[in-house]
Amino acid sequence: MYALVDCNNFFVSCERVFQPQLEGKAVVVLSNNDGCVVARSNESKAMGIKMGTPFFKVKHLVDSGALQVRSSNYALYGDLSSRVMSILSDTVPGIEIYSIDEAYLHLDGIRPEAIPGLCRDLVAKIRRWVGIPVSIGVAPTKTLAKIASHFAKTYSGYKGVCMMDSDAKRLKALELTPIEDVWGVGRRLAPRLQSLGVRTALDYVNRPKAWVNANFNLPGVRTWEELQGRACVEDEKDERRKSICTSRSFADMISDEEELCLRISDFAASCAHKLREEGSAAGEVTAFLYTNRFREDMKQYFPSATVRLPVAANSTHEIVGAALKALRTIYRPEYMYKKAGVIVGAIVPADAVQSSLFDNDEELRERQGRLSKVMDAVNSGGNTFLRLASQRAGHYADGIRSEYRSRLYSTLLDDIIEIY
């Protein structure tokens, strides 16, 4: 059996942990640069506010006091997420972190009759210890567990835990689930299924397997099997990302090369840190620039360049150096840039990196690797006390618009709540 633990309205819930005055109020969290809505409370959903709504379209609600708004605070969200995942890891035999607010639990070895109580205890413990409300769906497959978690979140009668432990429950849930809401279907596949008369998940499982094989590729077949109650989606906990990207849109357009170098250095340093966190190294580094595609009165330019490293690396020095080299090949001073970013690819396990026969810098590379680890230790908690000279002072996100950002209550000493 699998259990999917889903943190309810996660970004909003994180804001409410340290700002209880937001409980019961309509709240939205904005994307980088306060551009659009990326998270909503149930109250704001009831107002008809959709995901991706540009902020300027709802700002009048903020001005009138009907809506509370917060800028994204990823340091806070990441810290609270790690606390939730730590509780889960200490409770069950296996955990597969799916995203910042979701994790699959492997319940092998746990007696079936003990699972409901264990899940209810987790819901209460996470709420009490971290302050985050969660919903848990339990089912024989990951796809069904995803559906069950939706029911646990949507219907208060479940009290946060939905057990899909019989065929009768499975079929009833599938009957009530639109096909476009099934994990693995997505926006592209849903219209095709609907055109073939498949409106619900139950419609899909009622089709013969031969029909599914004839009309869809392997992912579609796997989804059909999963909905039948046969697990076939492989665990992803040991799979590495094929690439890592750090990018930001700028509050104001930039044309100065020196300023772009500072931004690219910050993004590359972030990618290098992420590589080290997951024990990986990258064989290539790409830098890219975007002008403002919404400014039709300005010249447009969307270049990118890739630098291949002689040996896969994860040190800040090497990743930043490669990113700056790529930037200098694409920079043109006559353009105004709205966005920039760095992508590291050709990712391999760091302990499997092999030196090149022509590599004369192995000793230097080892020193840079040790220095990067020291930087990680000093900069833990989202700080940037140690950085390369090519990076900007402060955090790389400081240059983006975040007018409504809350404090870093759990990761920055200066922002700890004081009680008098």
Average pLDDT over residues 153-161: 94
* Per-residue pLDDT reduced to its tens digit, 98-156: 889 999 999 988 999 999 999 999 999 999 999 999 999 999 999 999 999 999 999 99
pLDDT of residue 357: 42
SS3 string, the chain, reads CEEEEEECCHHHHHHHHHCHHHCCCCEEEECHHHCEEEEECHHHHHCCCCCCCEHHHCHHHHHHCCCEEEECCHHHHHHHHHHHHHHHHCCCCEEEEEECCEEEEECCCCCHHHHHHHHHHHHHHHHHHCCCCEEEEEECCHHHHHHHHHHHHHCHHHCCEEECCCHHHHHHHHHCCEHHHCCCCHHHHHHHHHHCCCCEHHHHHCCCHHHHHHHCCHHHHHHHHHHCCCCCCCCCCCCCCCCEEEEEEEEEEECCHHHHHHHHHHHHHHHHHHHHHCCEEEEEEEEEEEECCCCCCCCCCCCEEEEEEEEEECCHHHHHHHHHHHHHHHCCCCCCEEEEEEEEEEEEEHHHCCCCCCCCCHHHHHHHHHHHHHHHHHCCCCCCCCCCCCCCCCCHHHHCCCCCCCCCCCCCHHHCCCCC
> What whole-number distance in Å separates Cα of residue 171 and Cα of residue 147?
12
Q: Which domains does the chain have, with CATH numbers?
A: 9-72 (3.40.1170.60), 77-227 (3.30.70.270), 244-399 (3.30.1490.100)
Query: Is 18 within 8 Å of 70 (Cβ atoms)?
Result: no
* Per-residue pLDDT reduced to its tens digit, 40-79: 999 999 999 999 999 999 999 999 999 999 999 988 998 9
Q: Calculate the dihedral angle through the C-alpha atoms of 368, 373, 377, 380, rounding to the nearest 10 degrees.
A: 90
Backbone angles phi, psi at 128, to 5 degrees: -75, -40
As to burial, measured by CB atoms within 10 angstroms (0-12 exposed, 13-18 middle, 19+ buried), residue 419 is exposed
> What whole-number distance in Å separates Cα of residue 334 and Cα of residue 337?
10
At 368, the pLDDT band (50, 70, 90 cuts) reads low
* Per-residue pLDDT reduced to its tens digit, 189-242: 899 999 999 999 999 999 999 999 999 888 889 999 999 999 987 655 445 578
* Per-residue pLDDT reduced to its tens digit, 306-354: 999 888 888 888 999 999 999 999 999 999 999 999 999 988 888 766 5
Average pLDDT over residues 7-27: 96
Please give the mean pLDDT across all residues of the chain.
Answer: 87
Between 7 and 280, the more confident residue is: 7
> What whole-number distance in Å separates Cα of residue 102 and Cα of residue 183?
13
At 243, the pLDDT band (50, 70, 90 cuts) reads confident
Is pLDDT of 381 > 80? Answer: no
